[in-house]
Structure 1
C-alpha cells in the first residue's frame, strides 16, 4: 500500500468518524436550550461531512480508495454511500462510469435530457437518478429509528433528526449538483457544446469547503485515478501550464 493510499485512508477514516461523532453528539442535544443562530454552524458542519461520505464513495467507484484491493474498496464505498443516503453502490458505480465514458451525451445519466437544460430541470433529473422509492423507504425508516432512539435523551429528538440528518442531506445534494455537476458541465450544453468540463476558479481552501475539490472537474475528468485530495495539486499544474 503506497503512501498516498495510506494518507487517503486516514483522511477518509477521519471524515467518517467526524460524521458519526457529530451525528451522535448533535442528535442528543436539547435544541430548545440553544439560540437559533447557534444551530447554523452545526447544520453546515453536518452538510460538509455528509458530502464527504459521497466523496469517499466516489473515490471507491473509481477503485482508488483501496487500489489493488477491489473487494475492500467496494465494501468501504458501499458503506459510505449507504450512510450517505442509502444509495446502491453498484448502480451508482455503473452510472458514474457511463458519465465518464459518455460525458454530455444523451446516454450520460448526469446530463439533462429531453432538450431541457435549465438548472431546475437538471437538478430534478439529477435527484431522480439517485432517489428511488425503496431508497426513500430506507431513509425514512432510518430517520424514524434515530428519532425513536434519541427520544429517550432529548425532547427535541424528531426536530434534531430533521435538522441534522434530513436538512444536511438535502443541502449536500445541492452542493454536489451545483459544484460537482451543474457549474462544471453547463458549458457542454447547447449552444456552447464545449468538448470538456470546466474547473471552477477557486482557491484550494474554498474549493475544499465548496465540495471537496469536485469543482476542479476538468482535472478529475482528465485523470479519474486521482483521489479528491490530490486535485488541488493537479489544478495548480494546469494553471501553470496555461500561463506558460
Structure 2
C-alpha cells in the first residue's frame, strides 16, 4: 500500500480535453442546456419515498431493511444526483429555484445536506485534485486510519456520510469563509421541521426508513461503488473514471463522470450524447461497467486505499480569497 498520494506536476486533464472536444465538435455547445423536467423527477421521487415511509410501521425487521436496501437506497441516491443537478444550475435558470428544489430533495433524505453539498461540490470542480482545496480528497489522517485492511475499507465505505461531512474541515480554500449562510441555515431549519412532522404524523419507523435508505445510498451498497469509481486511480495517469453500466438508468447517468467534469453545463439526459459525439476522446480512457466490481476491488485489493488518488499542484495563490459559489 502506498503511504502517500500520487503526486503529479501536470494540470488536470479536463480543461485540455474540453477545449479539444469543443474545437473538433462545436455541436457539443448545443448540449449545454437545462432540463426543467428534472423538477418533476424530484417531486415524484420524494413523493414515492414518503408513500413507502407511511407503510414502514407495519414492516417486519427483515422487510424494513430489505425495502430500504433494495428500493429506498436507489431513490435517495437519485435524489442526491438531483441535488447535484441543481447545484450546477442544470434544472432552472433561476439560482433560487435550483436551491429550493435541492432543499426539497432533502425532505426524503432526513439530513440537511443540499446547501452544504452545493458549497463544497463547486469547490471540488474548481480545485479538482488539489489536496488542501478539493473536498473530495480525504485527509492524511483519515487515509492512514483506513489503511489497506479489507474490513477497515469496508467500514469506511459504510460510513462515507460521516467522512464526507468532516472532509471540508481540511480545506484551505474555505479559510475566512463562513460555512454558515442564510441558505445553509434555512436548509437546516426546513429539514428539521419536515423530519419532526414525519416523526409526529407518520411515525418514528417512517423517519428510520428514510434515514436507513440514505445510509445505504451513500455507503456499503452496489451504489457505493460510485464514490470509488469517480477518482480512485486504477490506470496510470488517469484521475477521473466513468461508469457505463446498467445502474446509470436509475441514477440519471451519474456514471458519466469524465464527461461531466469535461462539460459540467451538460445536464444528465444529454451526457450519453456527449460521449457519442466525441468517442475518440472517451473510448480510450479506462471505464467501468460494474459498481459492485469497483467496490470489491477497492476493498479486497491491498494496493488500493484512501491514498489511491492523484494530487495536483495548487492553483490558488497564498492569501487569495476563494471564489464565490454563485
Provide the TM-score with structure 1 as the length reference.
0.71
Map of 2:233 onto structure 1 = 187
Contact 1:143-1:161 at 8 Å conserved across structures: yes
Contact 1:196-1:218 at 8 Å conserved across structures: no
Measured after TM superposition, the shift of residue 71 of structure 1 is: 2.9
Structure 1 pair 236–140 and aligned structure 2 pair: CA distance change class (3 A): same
Q: Deviations over 1:29-86 (max 9, x none)?
A: 5525x6945973465322222222222221121122113x333233323333465321
Measured after TM superposition, the shift of residue 11 of structure 1 is: 3.9
Map of 2:198 onto structure 1 = 146
- Matched residues in 2 for 1:52 and 1:232: separation? 17
Map of 1:10 onto structure 2 = 37
- Please tell me whether residue 60 in structure 1 is matched to residue 60 in structure 2: no
- Matched residues in 1 for 2:51 and 2:214: separation? 16
In terms of Rg, which structure is larger? Answer: 2
Contact 1:197-1:218 at 8 Å conserved across structures: yes
Mapping of 1:43-82 within 5 angstroms? Answer: 43-67=69-93, 69-81=94-106
Structure 1 pair 4–28 and aligned structure 2 pair: CA distance change class (3 A): farther
Map of 1:153 onto structure 2 = none
Structure 2 segments unaligned to the other structure (5+ residues): 1-29, 147-152, 169-178, 180-184, 285-326
- Please tell me whether residue 168 in structure 1 is matched to residue 209 in structure 2: no
RMSD between aligned residues: 4.0
- Matched residues in 2 for 1:93 and 1:24: separation? 27
Measured after TM superposition, the shift of residue 100 of structure 1 is: 0.8
Provide the TM-score with structure 2 as the length reference.
0.55
Structure 1 pair 71–146 and aligned structure 2 pair: CA distance change class (3 A): closer
Contact 1:5-1:66 at 8 Å conserved across structures: no
Q: Which structure features the higher share of helix residues?
A: 1
Contact 2:87-2:99 at 8 Å conserved across structures: yes
Measured after TM superposition, the shift of residue 220 of structure 1 is: 0.7
Q: Deviations over 1:112-148 (max 9, x none)?
A: 1226545528934324248x9x989986775454232
- Matched residues in 1 for 2:61 and 2:222: separation? 29
Structure 1 pair 127–239 and aligned structure 2 pair: CA distance change class (3 A): farther
Mapping of 1:217-236 within 5 angstroms? Answer: 217-236=257-276
Map of 1:40 onto structure 2 = 66
Quick one: higher RCO (CA 8 Å, sep 6+), 1 or 2? 2
Map of 1:126 onto structure 2 = 164
Contact 1:62-1:225 at 8 Å conserved across structures: yes
Q: How many residues align?
A: 225
Question: In structure 2, which of residues 239, 242, 249 is the aligned counterpart of residue 208 of structure 1?
Answer: 249
- Matched residues in 2 for 1:49 and 1:76: separation? 16
Look up the SS of the partner of 1:65 in the other structure.
coil
